[in-house]
Amino acid sequence: MKQDPFFSIVIANYNYGHMLTATIESLLHQDCDDFEIIIVDGGSTDNSVEVIKQYEDCLAWWVSEPDNGQSNAFNKGFSHAKGKFYTWLNADDILLPGTLSAVKRKLERNPGICWATGNFLRFSNSDKTITEAAWGPHFLPSWLQGKGRTIVYFGPTTFWSREAYEKVGPIDETLHYAMDIDYWTRLNNMGYRQVRVNHYCWGFRMHEASKTAEFGDHEKSDKGKVEMAREKKYIVEKNNYHPSKFWRIVGLTMRALDGSMLKALYNKKFLVGINLIKQFGIDYDIK
């Protein structure tokens, strides 16, 4: 374990022991080892603690105890973090190969930047095929960011500095679905500007026990849909997030010019349906 790591990665888990191994292995198989792993388990009743103990020597800190939800778990983990930059992983997701080295290079080449965002994939848990290949802009100049502009993010494919976390404050623990949207909006409102990392960073696993994903026969509950809508409305009002149509058009024009729109269309055509493990040369088991 690094004493002064570049990255602190918090994994929140509750009864996902059967998937947690792959999540941890996705970090241990990175080609950059300048990170620490923190696991916050919400008092799981499955084999999660057994899995965590198998990797105890690789962890900076872990705990298994009842908590007040995912946002509370993230804040608990970050309170023990020692890294320069933070990110999180859900216990059913993976960090894709080469992510940490790509993000670290980008941040080291852009000193003073406290916020980096990459791209993400969705993949089917049953056969490991890619179901969505989202790709954002290649470049995001500072004048295209700020109030009134559209914030570019793909869930937790985001890395932000300890300094930013201390100034912006903890994740809103009243939010259980859209806490990421809220946090990126708060970073934006506090004047932080992101740099884009042209790399697939995060693998979002599509399975029928997911809290937010609709997949196969699984649909979000009516209660979940209502709560998600309520949280998004609350976030817009709280953070005064109202991107203008003009800046939306400017953003799309920039994407056409920088080639990222074409890249996104290409990936949608040629990556979707491909086996994730073969495409990325993953050499650990994703159960």
pLDDT, mean of residues 114-119: 97
Query: Between 123 and 1, whose confidence is greater?
Result: 123
* Distance separating alpha carbons of residues 171 and 53, to the nearest angstrom: 27
Q: Is the pLDDT of residue 217 over 50?
A: no
* Per-residue pLDDT reduced to its tens digit, 228-239: 999 999 999 999
* Distance separating alpha carbons of residues 87 and 68, to the nearest angstrom: 20
Burial of 59 (0-12, 13-18, 19+ CB in 10 A): middle
Q: 130-134 and 115-124: which strand pairing? A: antiparallel
Straight-line distance from the first to the last Cα atom of the chain, in angstroms, rounded to the nearest whole number: 26
Q: Is the pLDDT of residue 211 over 80?
A: no
Q: Is the pLDDT of residue 210 over 80?
A: no
Q: What is the pLDDT of residue 118?
A: 97
pLDDT, mean of residues 157-176: 96
What is the CATH code of the structural domain delimited by 7-280? 3.90.550.10
Q: Is the pLDDT of residue 250 over 70?
A: yes
Q: What is the pLDDT of residue 221?
A: 65
Average pLDDT over the chain, rounded to an integer: 93
pTM of the model as a whole: 0.93
CB 123 within 8 Å of CB 175: no
Taking alpha carbons only, the member of 169, 206, 210, 143 closest to residue 86 is 169
Report phi then psi at 116, rounded to 5.
-130, 140
* Per-residue pLDDT reduced to its tens digit, 94-112: 999 999 999 999 999 999 9
Q: What is the pLDDT of residue 219?
A: 56
C-alpha dihedral (126, 132, 135, 136), degrees to nearest 10: -110
User: Domain spans of the chain?
Assistant: 7-280
- Assign 225 a pLDDT band (cuts: 50, 70, 90): confident
Burial of 131 (0-12, 13-18, 19+ CB in 10 A): middle
* Distance separating alpha carbons of residues 189 and 148, to the nearest angstrom: 10
Q: Is the pLDDT of residue 218 over 50?
A: no
* Per-residue pLDDT reduced to its tens digit, 125-143: 999 999 999 999 999 999 9
pLDDT, mean of residues 76-104: 97
Q: What is the pLDDT of residue 155?
A: 75
Percent of the chain with pLDDT over 70: 95
From residue 146, alpha-carbon distances to 141, 151, 184, 189 in Å are 10, 8, 11, 7
Q: What is the pLDDT of residue 106?
A: 97
